[in-house]
């Protein structure tokens, strides 16, 4: 589903190489986790895949379902089925959450040449999905993320994911700033979306999120490359021993 | 002191072209205003208070013609039950207006000859008070020469808003209107204003808000591209009174909105807010002066300007805290969203404080569309244009949120969205 080959990325404004040859394949139906210390390039990878400005791809490729991602605008990537759950969701005062969601859903449908969702159908679907995430009508009416707690923002991200039904979901440190209950709620939301046609890339510092969202494959990223790949046990190893041993092995 | 010759000539020429309405209850106030005007002269390009906005076309004998714009949008406040009072090119349109009758309001027209005692005491009084410490000659000119206007006394809560509709009918119209609003104890009124009014519009509103009373004002200035306007609102606030005004301005080559408020009673609240949308040949000037002269009062100034294609925004906002006006809570923010490199925003925030136990804050920024917000929206699949429009609406939200009614907020946001959509490539 997601095929990353030899991806090299540097910051546009300074001559600093962040990703130094990332190879990664995420299959449909699988959950891949990427762990790694601060500054290893995890978030950069998520931004480059979703099309944020400020990065320059110097080598390599990234394809989603056979389509070249790196050539597309962010909105085209979204319509092609890529979704990034943000570490820091942006507040947008004056724009209602519902309006935003509906505009997003219909923009993607339009881009794919599909029929737009009617407001009645949309309302029905959004209410159903919001309920599962314990998002009440009030929160749906409020401006996007404005005055939301950390947990509410992350739940709102998952609601967007549920509404947009992407093919590949990237979760960028979705556990940061969440207490245990909030993390459970978010994880349940993600797990509800797991199915055979959808791949996940879960970026996290800590093993604890992976207790709730069980990965099939765990990658360790360090200094712009994936230095080790294994099963869920690799995450436990990191939890016990830290990254130092793995980094030493690599060096 | 004699005026500089240029200013003297311009003032004389303008006055000579106008005729002072004779007789009636307002005559003494008009004569006094004319004397004030002759004393200070009309604004000129060298006046400090007109440093960013060139006054020539506002003071010239004849107005610069302005084509009447074919407005294809639905009338403003269409879904809202309101009392409509219509002026076309500054002339009262009785046929298009509702009966001047509403519970808890006494209405009259400025041009009525019957003596209106309470209005006689007020007409020109707040304008005159507002001439110090900064002169506002166009307001004095208005008091002297206004051809009509609504005079209303609010004696209790009012069931629906009063709506002044200003139609623009002639390319060369020059309108001068002056309204007086007296809100007495327990009174509470909402005034809506909308429309381009004329090729050139000089509008003045004097508002006295008694102890515990409330005044709400929402204004939409649009959409004719070539129109010019100079407006003044003078307000005097009593104890525990509320005064809130919001203006949305779209288009117009030149708009100068001055708001001059005096908080004279303790615990009064004054909010002055505005948003403007300018594209190309557009200058919008918000000039605000709020005087705190009582204890524990709150004032807020929130102004947002969206500018593109060389449009210019001006903000001159002042908070004056007089000796003894302790516990004053003053807030002022003026921000512009510059959608390209050609547009500019000129801001002059001023605080002058003579009390030692006050909280006053001010801020002013200019910036482009927020890149993080833009990426967030595009990552959800919104095309760049739509994402930019939503972020623009988000930018003005702090000002729009100053309007208490959600219904009115929604209407203004929809107008802004339509304005943006028309410009989206």
- DSSP string covering B10-64: HHHHHHHHS-PPPSSTTHHHHHHHHHHHHHH----TT-GGGSSS--HHHHSSSPP
Contact state of B386 with A103 under an 8 Å Cβ cutoff: yes
Nearest to A107 among B382, B394, B395 (CB): B382
Residue B376: closest C-alpha in chain A:
A90
Question: In total, how many domains does chain B have?
Answer: 1
Contacts of B354 (CB under 8 A, 6+ apart): B321, B322, B323, B325
Q: How confident is the model at residue B113 (pLDDT cuts 50, 70, 90)?
A: confident
- pTM of the model as a whole: 0.93
Residues ≥6 apart with Cβ < 8 Å to A1? A26, A27, A28, A64, A65, A167, A168, A199
Residue B387: its chain A contacts at CB < 8 A? 75
Residue B194 has pLDDT above 90, yes or no: yes
Average pLDDT, chain B: 96
Q: Is the pLDDT of residue B129 over 70?
A: yes
User: Using the beta-carbon criterion (under 8 Å), do A160 and B380 form an inter-chain contact?
Assistant: yes
Compute the distance between CA of residue A119 and CA of residue A123 in angstroms, rounded to an integer: 6
Q: Assess if residue B220 is contained within a domain.
A: yes
Q: B72 lies in a domain?
A: yes
Residues 82-121 of A with CB under 8 A from B: 83-84, 86, 89-90, 92-95, 100, 103-105, 107-108, 111
Domain annotation covers residue B128: yes
Query: From A51, which residue of chain B is nearest by alpha-carbon distance?
Result: B379
Domain membership of residue B259 (yes or no) is yes
The radius of gyration of chain B's CA atoms, rounded to the nearest angstrom, is 21
Q: What is the ipTM of this complex?
A: 0.96
pLDDT at residue B353 is higher than 80 = yes
Decide if B397 touches A, using CB distance below 8 A.
yes
Q: Kindly tell me if the per-residue pLDDT of B117 is higher than 90.
A: no
In whole angstroms, give the CA distance from residue B227 to residue B171: 9
Q: Determine the residue among A48, A76, A92 to mutate to test chain B binding: the one whose Cβ has the most chain B Cβ atoms within 10 Å.
A: A92
Condensed to tens digits (0 to 9), the pLDDT of residues B362-420 reads 999 999 999 999 999 999 999 999 999 999 999 999 999 999 999 999 999 999 999 99
Beta-bridged to residue B271, according to DSSP, are B244, B300
Query: Going edge to edge, which strands form the sheet with A67-68?
Result: A17-26, A2-11, A55-64, A67-68
Per-residue tokens: B44: 């000129």
Contact B235, B207 (CB under 8 A): yes
Give the model's pLDDT for residue B177.
98
In 10 A of CB B269, how many CB atoms?
A: 17
Percentage of residues in chain B having pLDDT higher than 70: 100
What is the model's pLDDT at position A244?
A: 86
Nearest to B82 by CA among B164, B196, B151, B203: B164
Which three-class secondary structure string do you get for B126-147?
Answer: HHHHCCCCCCCHHHHHHHHHCC
Q: What is the DSSP string of B248-286?
A: EEE--SEEEEEEEEEE-STT-EEEEEEEEEEESS-EEEE
Each residue's pLDDT tens digit, B47-92:
999 999 999 999 999 999 999 999 899 999 999 999 999 999 999 9
Find the range with the poorest average confidence among A149-158, B97-106, B238-247, B274-283.
Answer: A149-158
CA-angle at A56, arms to A52 and A62, nearest 5°: 75
The domain containing residue B75 runs over which residues?
5-369
How far apart CA A120 and CA A124 sit, in angstroms, is 6
- pLDDT tens series, chain A, 251 aa: 999 999 999 999 888 999 999 999 999 999 999 999 989 999 999 999 999 999 999 999 999 999 999 999 999 999 999 999 999 999 998 888 999 999 999 999 999 999 999 999 999 999 999 998 889 989 999 999 999 998 899 999 999 999 999 999 999 998 888 888 889 988 998 999 999 999 999 999 888 899 999 999 999 999 999 999 999 999 999 888 888 888 888 76
Question: Is residue B198 a part of any domain in this protein?
Answer: yes
Range B252-259 average pLDDT? 98
B chain contacts of residue A51, beta-carbon cutoff 8 Å: 375, 378-379
Residues of chain A in contact with residue B381, where contact means CB-CB under 8 angstroms, are 75, 78-79, 104-105, 107-108, 111, 164
Answer whether B386 sits within 8 Å of A107, measured CB to CB.
Answer: yes
Specify the pLDDT at position B1.
66
Largest CA distance in chain B: 68
Give ∠ CA B142-B146-B151 in degrees, rounded to 5: 105
Asked whether residue B391 is assigned to any structural domain, the reply reads no
Flag the least confident range among B103-117, B159-173, B299-313. Answer: B103-117
Bridge partners, A67 (sequence order): A64
Specify if B384 maps to a domain: no
8 Å CB contact of B382 and A75: yes
Domain-embedded: residue B396: no
Q: With CA atoms as reference, report the closest residue to B157 among B182, B187, B183, B184.
A: B187
Contact predicate B205/B245, CB 8 Å: no
* Residues B386-399 pLDDT 10s: 999 999 999 999 99
**What pLDDT score was predicted for residue A107?**
97
Residue A251 has a pLDDT of 65
Q: Do A107 and B384 touch (CB under 8 A)?
A: no
- Judged on CB neighbours under 10 Å (0-12, 13-18, 19+), B114 is exposed
In angstroms, the CA A5 to CA A157 distance is: 28
Residues facing B169 on adjacent strands: none
Q: Please give the average per-residue pLDDT across B321-347, as a whole number.
A: 97
Residue B425 pLDDT > 80, yes or no? no
């Amino acid at each position: 589903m997601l095929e990353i080959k030899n991806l090299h990325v540097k910051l546009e404004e300074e001559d600093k190489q962040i990703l130094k040859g990332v190879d990664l394949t995420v299959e449909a139906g699988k959950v891949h986790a990427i762990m790694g210390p601060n500054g290893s390039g995890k978030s950069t990878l998520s931004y480059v895949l979703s099309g944020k400005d400020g990065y320059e791809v110097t080598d390599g490729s990234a394809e989603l379902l056979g389509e070249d991602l790196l050539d597309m605008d962010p909105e085209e990537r979204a319509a092609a089925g890529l979704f990034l759950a943000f570490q820091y969701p942006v507040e947008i005062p004056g724009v209602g959450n519902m309006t935003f969601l509906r505009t997003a859903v219909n923009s993607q449908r339009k881009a794919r040449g599909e029929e737009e969702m009617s407001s009645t159908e949309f309302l029905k679907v959004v209410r159903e999905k919001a309920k599962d995430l314990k998002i009440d009508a009030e929160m749906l009416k409020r401006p996007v993320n404005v005055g939301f707690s950390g947990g509410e923002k992350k739940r709102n991200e998952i609601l967007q994911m549920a509404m947009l039904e992407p093919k590949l979901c990237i979760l960028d440190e979705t556990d940061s700033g969440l207490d245990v209950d909030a993390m459970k709620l978010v994880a349940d939301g993600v797990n509800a979306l797991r199915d055979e046609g959808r791949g996940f890339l879960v970026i996290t510092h800590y093993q604890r999120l992976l207790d709730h969202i069980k990965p099939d494959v765990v990658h360790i990223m360090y200094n712009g490359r994936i230095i080790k790949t294994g099963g869920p046990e690799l995450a436990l190893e990191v939890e016990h021993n830290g990254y130092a041993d793995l980094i030493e092995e690599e060096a | 002191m004699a005026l500089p010759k240029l200013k003297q000539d311009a003032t004389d020429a303008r006055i000579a072209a106008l005729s002072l309405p004779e007789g009636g209850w307002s005559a003494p106030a008009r004569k006094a205003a004319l004397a004030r005007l002759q004393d200070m002269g009309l604004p000129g390009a060298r006046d400090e208070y007109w440093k960013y906005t060139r006054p020539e076309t506002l003071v010239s004998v004849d107005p610069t013609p302005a084509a009447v714009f074919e407005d294809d949008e639905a009338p403003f406040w269409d879904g809202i039950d309101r009392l409509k009072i219509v002026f076309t090119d500054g002339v009262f349109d009785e046929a298009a207006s509702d009966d001047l009758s509403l519970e808890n309001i006494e209405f009259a027209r400025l041009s009525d000859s019957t003596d209106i005692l309470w209005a006689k005491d007020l007409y020109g009084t707040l304008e005159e008070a507002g001439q110090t410490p900064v002169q506002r000659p166009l307001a004095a000119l208005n008091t002297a020469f206004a051809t009509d206007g609504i005079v209303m006394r609010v004696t209790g809560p009012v069931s629906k808003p009063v709506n002044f509709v200003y139609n623009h009918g002639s390319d060369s119209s020059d309108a001068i209107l002056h309204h007086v609003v007296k809100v007495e104890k327990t009174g509470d009124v909402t005034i809506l204003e909308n429309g381009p009014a004329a090729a050139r519009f000089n509008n003045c509103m004097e508002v006295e808000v008694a102890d515990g009373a409330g005044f709400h004002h929402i204004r939409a200035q649009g959409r004719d591209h070539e129109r010019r306007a100079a407006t003044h609102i003078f307000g005097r606030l009593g104890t525990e009174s509320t005064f809130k005004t919001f203006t949305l301005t779209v288009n117009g080559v030149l708009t100068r909105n001055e708001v001059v408020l005096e908080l004279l009673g303790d615990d009064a609240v004054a909010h002055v807010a505005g948003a403007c949308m300018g594209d190309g040949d557009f200058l919008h000037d918000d000039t605000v002066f709020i005087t705190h002269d009582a204890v524990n009062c709150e004032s807020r100034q929130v102004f947002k300007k969206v500018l593109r294609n060389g449009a210019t925004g001006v903000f001159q906002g002042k908070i004056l805290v007089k000796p003894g006006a302790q516990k004053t809570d003053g807030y002022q923010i003026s921000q512009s969203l510059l959608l390209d490199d050609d547009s500019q925003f000129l801001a002059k925030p001023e605080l002058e404080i003579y009390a030692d136990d006050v909280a006053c804050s001010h801020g002013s920024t200019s910036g482009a569309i927020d890149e993080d917000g833009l990426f967030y929206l595009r990552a959800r699949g919104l095309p760049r244009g739509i994402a930019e429009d939503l972020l623009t609406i988000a930018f003005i939200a702090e000002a729009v949120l100053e309007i208490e009614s959600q219904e009115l907020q929604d209407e203004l946001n929809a107008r802004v969205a339509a304005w943006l959509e028309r410009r989206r490539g």
